[in-house]
């Protein structure tokens, strides 16, 4: 009787093990298979986000650092890539609805976003900087009190500013824009006093318009960029991480980085 009970328990435990563990491979998602079947993946982006993704002046084609990275990744996956402009404050909803397949557009990896989506391995460092006009008397974060500050709606710049609630309370106004280009135009026209923006975007804008802006020595924090992917798209994420690792480690990544930044700033 005792041996029978032991054998029964052993069989029962084996059945539980098979159901909970061994079945994992059989239930793995088919996201990569589905992407390859349609022959392309769709990148959602803010097309006013230079140098990551923006409209070129010559033919209005979407170009940029992230655009070149996505094209190289698609080539290595043996498929095509399409680019779809989406309002940034609704881009995660668009991703989870299936309107786009990834967000590849200088997207900061945050804990809040990780509750809703998955991220690739990080590929760039970034800071949230404060830009003012060249003739501005503002030189510290403390001096922003009583001033109008602009930023992009739904961006990590908004999160960075909101992480300083005591400062927010002392501001005259926080003006939120559809994109950083509009915010910086208002800053240049002195309709606002400062802009909180990704350093990569801000430095690009300064290079394009020398003598207009300057950056405060203090910043609003550092962060990492990653590609936003749906949580259930496990096999697609694994394949994307693999080719991203290859690109970051070989000449292709270095050449793309030097093309847009003059040096190799991609994370290894």
pLDDT digits (tens, 9 = 90+) for 19-60: 444 444 546 799 999 999 999 999 999 999 999 999 988 888
List for the chain the helix, strand, coil content (%; round to 5).
45, 25, 30
Q: Does domain 126-223 have CATH number 3.40.640.10?
A: no
Neighbours of 262 (CB within 10 A): 9
In the chain, residues under CATH classification 3.40.190.10 are 28-124+225-261, 126-223
Contact 223, 108 (CB under 8 A): yes
Specify the pLDDT at position 12.
52
- Around 16, how many Cα atoms within 13 Å sit in the side-chain half-sphere? 6
Euclidean distance between the first and the last CA atom of the chain, given in angstroms as a whole number? 62
pLDDT score at 67: 98
Q: What is the largest CA-CA distance in the chain?
A: 91
Give the per-residue pLDDT at 263.
86
Distance of CA 15 to the CA centre of its chain: 43
CA atoms within 13 A on the CB side of 74: 21
Q: What is the reported pLDDT for 2?
A: 45
- What whole-number distance in Å separates Cα of residue 100 and Cα of residue 184? 28
CATH class of 28-124+225-261: alpha beta
Q: What is the pLDDT of residue 21?
A: 46
Predicted local distance difference test score (pLDDT) of residue 24: 44
pLDDT in the model for residue 7: 53
* Interatomic CA distance for residues 209 and 205, integer angstroms: 6
In terms of pTM, does the model score above 0.75?
yes
The reported pLDDT for the residue numbered 137 is 97
What is the Cα–Cα distance from 180 to 208, expressed in whole angstroms? 14
Above 60 in pLDDT, residue 169? yes
Q: What is the pLDDT of residues 192-231, one digit of tens each?
A: 999 999 999 898 889 889 999 999 999 999 999 999 999 9
């Amino acid at each position: 009787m005792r041996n029978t009970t032991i054998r029964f328990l052993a069989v029962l435990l084996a059945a539980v093990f098979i159901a909970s563990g061994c079945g994992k491979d059989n239930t793995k998602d088919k996201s990569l298979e589905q992407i390859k079947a349609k022959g392309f993946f769709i990148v959602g982006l803010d097309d006013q986000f230079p140098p990551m993704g923006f409209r070129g002046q010559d033919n209005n084609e979407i170009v940029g650092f992230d655009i070149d990275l996505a094209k190289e990744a698609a080539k290595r996956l043996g498929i095509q890539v399409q680019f779809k402009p989406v309002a940034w404050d609704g881009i995660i909803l668009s991703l989870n609805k299936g309107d786009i397949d990834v967000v590849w557009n200088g997207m900061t990896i945050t804990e809040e976003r990780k509750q809703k989506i998955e991220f690739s391995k990080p590929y760039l460092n970034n800071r949230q900087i404060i830009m003012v006009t060249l003739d501005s008397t503002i030189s510290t974060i403390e001096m922003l009190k009583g001033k109008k500050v602009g930023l992009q709606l739904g961006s990590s710049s908004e999160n960075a500013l909101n992480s300083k609630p005591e400062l927010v309370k002392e501001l005259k106004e926080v003006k939120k824009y559809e994109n950083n280009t509009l915010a910086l135009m208002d800053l240049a026209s002195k309709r606002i006093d400062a802009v909180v923006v990704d350093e990569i975007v801000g430095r690009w804008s300064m290079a394009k318009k020398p003598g207009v802006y300057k950056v405060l020595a203090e910043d609003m924090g550092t962060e990492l960029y990653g590609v936003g992917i749906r949580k259930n798209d496990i096999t697609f994420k694994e394949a994307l991480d693999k080719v991203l690792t290859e690109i970051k480690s070989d000449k292709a990544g270095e050449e793309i980085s030097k093309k847009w930044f003059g040096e190799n700033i991609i994370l290894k």
